[in-house]
Amino acid sequence: MRLWPRHPAEIPPSLPAALEAQDWSALRENMVRTQIERRDVRDPAVLKAMRVIPRHLFVPVELRSSAYEDRPLTIGHGQTISQPYIVGSMSDLLEIQPAHTVLEIGTGCGYQAAILSQLANQVFSVEIVDALAKQSSRMLHELGYRNVTVRRGDGYLGWPEEAPFDRIILTAAPPEMVPALVNQLKNGGRLIAPIGVDNQVLVIVDKDAQGRTQQRTRYGVAFVPMVPGRK
């Protein structure tokens, strides 16, 4: 039996080689295995979505080679694309069902919205920076994620015309819980949000069948602040 050298096709590409060849799917698979699966993300639909969505297309061209690294990236307009693990973990904690309608606050580049598009029936996403709302909307449309609607607006107001939502996710941190958003949650719904100024924590709010809410804290996070709305 010949053990070595193996046929080149059997040898997994090293990361630099994958980068050179721009083998994005190899980088993506490596990201999911080492950063997401190996930690605590279990929802098969979330893992599948992260294996499919081309994260590198949501970052500026000059940052593409870093798109699958284990960290957030700063990508202009005071905006960041969250660390892959945080996107996976928050999506997992939301326990999204295929029939759900989800509201996202803070579209940014649209990567989290693209992941949500694979998990839910409908996604509505609000972004306060006009240029980002336009850019992410265009990208999501170009990539064919037709169940996502992005609009420029103040996330503190939510999206009253489409409320109530089964799930709500904030990807910018308000100093404290936002009652208007909790009000837009269906009974039986769940909201997840980074809360706080200097020491942020990830908070989950569950609304029961009678509309009573319960709040618990998961872990410490560092999101961009949710800026006060403009008129």
Contact set with ligand SAH (CB under 6 A): 79-82, 105-109, 111-112, 126-129, 132, 154-156, 171-172, 224, 226-227, 229
CB of 128 to ligand SAH, least distance (A): 4
Quick one: 20 or 130, whose CB is closer to ligand SAH? 130
CB of 81 to ligand SAH, least distance (A): 4
Cβ count within 10 A of residue 9: 5
- Residue 177 CA to residue 226 CA, distance in Å, equals 11
Residue among 221, 211, 228, 229 nearest 93 (CA): 221
Contacts of 202 (CB under 8 A, 6+ apart): 90, 93, 192, 193, 194, 195, 217, 218, 219, 220, 221
CB of 8 to ligand SAH, least distance (A): 36
Quick one: 80 or 118, whose CB is closer to ligand SAH? 80
- Residue 166 CA to residue 85 CA, distance in Å, equals 23
Quick one: 108 or 189, whose CB is closer to ligand SAH? 108
